[in-house]
Structure 1
Amino acid sequence: MKKSLLILGFALTLFSCNKETQAAKTSEFKTAYVNIQILSDSLQEFKDLESQSKVKMEEMGRDLDARVQQFKLEAASFENEAKAKGPQWAQLKGQELQKREQELGMMQQAMTRQLQDEFRPKNDSVTSKMKRFIKDYGKKNGYDYIYATADISSILYAKEGYNITDKILKELNDTYKGGSKTEDSASNTAKEENKK
């Protein structure tokens, strides 16, 4: 019986020491979180891609808009012309207008797909770059964990001091601006050399 009590006491001592060691290790963790939604909305590289996408969409949409306007004019005059030209003409013209409306819809879908195909890889590249940057930032600054949060997230509460979104955003934008300056100066140097 004494041996059992001695073993039980020893086990409890080891368990409590182990618990204290784990508590000490846990309190040594350096953690933070980043609001991914704010990063995505505020990151200059994403904003530039969005602007480029809008410009491209406007350029591609000009022809489509002109065709849509022409279609609307013809559809508006269809009813008056149908009365004058008879039911047989109205039926043929109605089928033609339906076919053109479907073609315009397909053109719009094709344009949207083309834009998505062009800009999705660029967005994915920026997202990957952002994730790599956060990972490197965490290693460089001694973080054990950096969590992600957004509108719907698994982090329901954290002290504001753990939020490093602004730091990450500033460094990412500074890196992007630095890269843009380097690319701009390289292209300006190439242009000057071509002039010579």
Structure 2
Amino acid sequence: MKKIIFGILTLVMVVSCKQEKIAYIDNSYVINEYQEKKDIESKYKSKIEAYNKKRDSIGKALQLDYQAFQLKSQSMTESDAQSEYNALMQKQQMLQQQFQMEEQQISKDSQTEIDSLISKVKTFVKKHGKENNYTYILGTSDAASGVMYGKEENNISETILKTLNESYKKD
């Protein structure tokens, strides 16, 4: 009987001594400080600036056309003026639709790249967890906090970010 109790106690001690390796990362910090994300943002900032310049330039040209029409319309018949006005409005409407489509395409392309980057980071974290024998790697952020408290030594955000950035530089 003593041997059975001693065996059970030993088994309980062995099981309780087995510590699971748990860490967490600050998702927002890692994603926002990841150099690849900064490069994506920079790329799309340039595209947006180029788009805005193009839109402003075309808008100013359309405004000049409208001002020229106003001067010219005073010497036109009412039906000719109405016809030219309708053509200007149609041109403006087509340009607005084109601008809207361009904006949507830029937004869609940007979101696709960011989604791909987030997926890449998740895959990297899983691989890192397996390679370093973590039982769990939890994620937290200001928007969705999965970790309410964690010892700072269990925060591997800097390690993940550093390794991601080093890997990105090699590519």
TM bucket (normalised to shorter chain) is: 0.7 to 0.9
**Structure-to-structure mapping, 1:27-66, within 5 angstroms:** 28-66=19-57
- Map Cα deviations across residues 7-28 of structure 1 (whole Å, 9 max, x no partner): xxxxxxx9xx89x959x65982
Q: Deviations over 1:138-187 (max 9, x none)?
A: 112221111122222142511233322111111100111122xxxxxxxx
Q: Does 1:174 align with 2:166?
A: yes
- Structure 1 Cα separation of the partners of residues 125 and 113 of structure 2: 18
Aligned residues: 162
Which amino acid in structure 1 is aligned with residue 126 of structure 2?
K
The 1-side partners of 2:143 and 2:163 are apart by: 25
Indicate the SS of the match to 1:34: strand
TM-score normalised per structure 2 = 0.74
Task: State the alpha-carbon separation in 1 of the partners of residues 69 and 29 from structure 2.
Answer: 50
Q: Percent identity?
A: 30
Instruction: List alignment gaps of at least 5 residues for structure 1.
Output: 1-13, 180-196
The answer on whether the counterparts of 2:138 and 2:147 sit within 8 Å (CA) in structure 1 is: no
Contact 2:24/2:147 (8 A) holds in 1: no
The aligned residue for residue 103 of structure 2 is 112
Cα distance in 1, alignment partners of residues 99 and 29 from structure 2: 31
Structure 1 or 2: more helix by fraction? 1
TM-score by length of 1: 0.66
Superposed CA deviations along residues 102-143 of structure 1, whole A, max 9, x for unmatched, are 212211122123334544443333222211110111112221
Which stretch shows the higher mean deviation, 47-56 or 78-87? 78-87
CA distance in 1, matches of 2:95, 2:12: 69
Residue in 1 aligned with 2:59?
Answer: 68
CA contact (8 A) 1:64 1:107 kept: no
Counterpart amino acid of residue 38 in structure 1:
Y
Which structure 2 residue ranges, 5 or more long, are not aligned? none
Question: Which residue of the partner structure matches residue 165 of structure 1?
Answer: 157
Q: Which SS does the other structure have where 1:171 is aligned?
A: helix
Please show how residues 119-134 of structure 1 align to structure 2 within 5 Å. Answer: 119-134=110-125
CA distance in 1, matches of 2:136, 2:54: 51
Structure with bigger RCO (C-alpha 8 Å, 6+ apart): 2
Q: Which amino acid aligns with 1:69?
A: K
Change (3 A) 1:172 1:79: same
Structure 2 residue identity aligned to 1:167: T
Residue range with higher mean Cα deviation, 158-167 or 44-53 = 158-167
- Partners of 1:32 and 1:145 within 8 A in 2: yes
